[in-house]
Amino acid sequence: MKRSMLWMLLVAFSSIAPSQELRHLPPTPRDFAWQWPLAIAPGEDLVRISLTPEVYARLWRDDTMDLTVFNGAEEAVPVATLDAILSGVGSSGGNVVVPIDVPVFRTPAVGTRDAGDRLRLFVSQRSDGRLERLDADVETASMSPSPELLLDLSAIQTPSRGLVVTFNADAAPLVARVDVFGSRDLSSWTRLAAAQALVSLNEGGLKLERRRIEFADTTLPYLRLVRTDAREDLPIEAVQALRSRATHSQETPLQQVQLAGHAEADGRGFVYRSAGPFPIERIGVTLAERNAAANVIIESRPRPDLPWRERARGAVFHVSGRDADIASAPLETALVRDREWRIRTEPPQARAPAVTLGYRPDQLAFLVQGEGPFRLAAGSARSQRATFPLHVVLLELRDSRGDSWLPPETRLGRGSELAGSLALAPRLDASGSPTPWQWLLWGLLLAGAFVVVTMVLRLLRQSGSN
Kindly report, residue by residue over 88-129, the tens digit of the pLDDT. Answer: 876 544 445 678 999 998 876 544 444 444 445 555 556 555
Q: Which domain holds residue 347?
A: 255-359
Residue 250 counted as domain residue: no
Residues in CB range of 188: below 8 A, 6 or more apart: none
Residue 249 confidence (pLDDT) above 70? no
Banded model confidence at residue 44, pLDDT cuts 50, 70, 90: very high
Residue 282 counted as domain residue: yes
pLDDT score, position 203: 74
What count of other Cβ atoms lies within 10 Å of the Cβ of residue 305?
Answer: 7
Banded model confidence at residue 69, pLDDT cuts 50, 70, 90: very high
In a shared domain, residues 85 and 137:
no
Residue 3 confidence (pLDDT) above 60? no
Query: Within 13 Å and on the Cβ side, how many CA atoms surround 117?
Result: 14
Average pLDDT, the chain: 81
Structural domain count, the chain: 4
Percent of the chain as helix, strand, coil, to the nearest 5 = 15, 40, 45
Banded model confidence at residue 17, pLDDT cuts 50, 70, 90: very low
In a shared domain, residues 116 and 212:
yes
In a shared domain, residues 382 and 435:
no
Residue 466 confidence (pLDDT) above 70? no
In a shared domain, residues 214 and 332:
no
Average pLDDT, stretch 210-225?
90
Residue 349 counted as domain residue: yes
What are the residues facing 341 on neighbouring strands?
Answer: 272, 300
Banded model confidence at residue 254, pLDDT cuts 50, 70, 90: confident
pLDDT in tens, 129-179: 565 555 544 444 444 556 789 999 988 877 888 999 999 988 888 889 999
Residue 27 counted as domain residue: no
Residue 436 counted as domain residue: yes
In a shared domain, residues 198 and 120:
yes
In a shared domain, residues 56 and 173:
no
Banded model confidence at residue 40, pLDDT cuts 50, 70, 90: very high
Residue 463 confidence (pLDDT) above 80? no
Choice between 16 and 213, residue whose per-residue pLDDT is larger? 213
pLDDT score, position 439: 62
What are the residues facing 367 on neighbouring strands?
Answer: 46
In a shared domain, residues 284 and 309:
yes
Residue 332 confidence (pLDDT) above 50? yes
Residues in CB range of 100: below 8 A, 6 or more apart: 156, 240, 241, 243
Residue 212 counted as domain residue: yes
Contact 193, 199 (CB under 8 A): no
Residue 196 counted as domain residue: yes
End-to-end CA distance of the chain: 15
In a shared domain, residues 371 and 308:
no
Banded model confidence at residue 413, pLDDT cuts 50, 70, 90: very high
pLDDT score, position 323: 65
pLDDT in tens, 290-311: 888 999 999 999 999 999 999 9
pLDDT score, position 109: 58
Residue 445 confidence (pLDDT) above 80? no
The least confident of 196-210, 212-226, 334-348 is 196-210
pLDDT winner (highest mean) among 6-20, 96-110, 218-232: 218-232
Question: Which of 181, 211, 243 is at the close of a domain?
Answer: 243
Question: Which of 204, 222, 243 is at the close of a domain?
Answer: 243
Q: Which ranges in 41-159 belong to alpha helices (H)?
A: 53-58, 82-88
Question: Which of 243, 273, 308 is at the close of a domain?
Answer: 243
Residue 295 counted as domain residue: yes
In a shared domain, residues 209 and 81:
no
pLDDT in tens, 336-392: 999 999 999 999 999 999 999 999 999 999 999 999 899 999 999 989 999 999 999
CATH number of the domain enclosing 299: 2.60.120.260
pLDDT score, position 188: 85
The least confident of 128-137, 331-340, 455-464 is 128-137
In a shared domain, residues 277 and 338:
yes
What is the percentage of the chain residues whose pLDDT exceeds 70?
A: 78
Residues in CB range of 367: below 8 A, 6 or more apart: 45, 46, 77, 78, 79, 388, 390, 393
In a shared domain, residues 8 and 44:
no
d(CA 453, CA 9): 9
Average pLDDT, stretch 398-402?
86
Angle, helices 436-465 vs 2-13, to 10°: value is 170
pLDDT score, position 125: 57
In a shared domain, residues 58 and 126:
no
pTM of the model: 0.70
